[in-house]
């Protein structure tokens, strides 16, 4: 191989290596802010963009004196501290904002109820998404005691979450609902769309809603 060709290959390999390091260190990529789920029997960890914080789901067997629930912890890698966020009864999901300054938690606490929250990283101030939506929208309040599920779809940007509130009433005739909102970290709520109606032959699926 000629010296010129060797140098070209070396520089190409070096450039690819540098590109890999840059891409791997980016804090706002999909892998850094992806939604992740609590897992029974093992620890699940998601670092924040930038790497200072981490959310950690732990099984009851991994923490001394733990209750029967899974645990969601908040870790600060700078102060080497760990704070308990909540206990998880069945399933839970979480995800960081792209700037790493906030995260949401979706807790499927019961078969007929799902709760969702926004936390500020550092202070761990908590905003209850359900409370904010109920306060802002009379239509949502109609279904406060129904089979109701607050599901975070994704971060729209650093400050806003796309949230879906859907489910069905318990009393006959059954009413199905599918309400969409934009909820900010400061607690403001913007109504995006609303669909309600009676259940059909296949339940709420007739309205293209979740059938829970």
- Beta strands 147-155 and 113-120 are parallel
Query: Could you give phi then psi for residue 171, rounded to 5 degrees?
Result: -85, 155
Q: How far apart are CA 114 and CA 109, in angstroms?
A: 6
pTM assigned to the model: 0.75
Specify the residue for token string 């949230």. 163
Q: pLDDT in tens for each of the 212 residues of the chain?
A: 554 444 444 444 444 334 333 333 333 333 334 566 665 555 688 899 999 999 988 866 555 554 556 788 999 998 889 999 887 766 788 999 999 999 999 987 666 788 899 999 989 999 999 999 999 999 999 998 888 999 999 999 999 999 999 999 887 888 899 999 999 999 999 999 999 888 876 677 666 654 44
Reference 125, options 83, 154, 89, 165; nearest CA is 83
What would you measure as the largest C-alpha separation in the chain, in angstroms? 83
Q: Which domains does the chain carry?
A: 34-207 (2.40.128)
- Report pLDDT for 136: 96
Q: What is the dihedral of CA 167, 162, 118, 177, to 10 degrees?
A: -10
Q: What are 67's strand-pairing partners?
A: none
Q: What are 171's strand-pairing partners?
A: none
Which runs of consecutive H residues, i.e. helices, occur in 51-196?
A: 129-136, 138-141
With beta carbons less than 8 A apart as the criterion, state whether 194 and 176 touch.
Answer: no
Q: Using one digit for the tens of pLDDT, what is the confidence trace for 105-141?
A: 998 766 678 889 999 998 999 999 999 999 999 999 9
- Report pLDDT for 129: 97
- Report pLDDT for 87: 79
């Amino acid at each position: 191989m000629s010296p010129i060709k060797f140098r070209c290959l070396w520089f190409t390999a070096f450039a690819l290596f540098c590109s890999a390091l840059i891409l791997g260190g980016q804090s706002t990529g999909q892998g850094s802010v992806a939604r992740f789920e609590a897992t029974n029997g093992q620890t699940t960890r998601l670092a924040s963009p930038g790497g200072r914080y981490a959310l950690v789901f732990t099984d009851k067997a991994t923490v001394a004196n733990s209750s029967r629930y899974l645990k969601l912890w908040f870790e600060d890698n700078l102060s080497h501290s760990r704070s308990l966020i909540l206990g998880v009864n069945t399933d839970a999901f979480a995800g960081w904002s792209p700037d790493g300054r906030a995260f949401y938690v979706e807790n499927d606490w019961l078969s007929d109820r799902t709760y969702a929250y926004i936390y500020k990283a550092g202070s761990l101030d908590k905003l209850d998404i359900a409370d904010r939506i109920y306060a802002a929208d009379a239509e949502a309040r109609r279904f406060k005691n129904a089979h109701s599920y607050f599901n975070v779809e994704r971060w729209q940007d650093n400050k806003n979450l796309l949230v879906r509130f859907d489910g069905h009433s318990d009393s006959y005739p059954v009413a199905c609902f599918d309400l969409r909102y934009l909820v900010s970290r400061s607690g403001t709520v913007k109504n995006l769309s609303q669909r309600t109606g009676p259940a059909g032959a296949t339940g709420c699926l007739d309205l293209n809603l979740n059938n829970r």
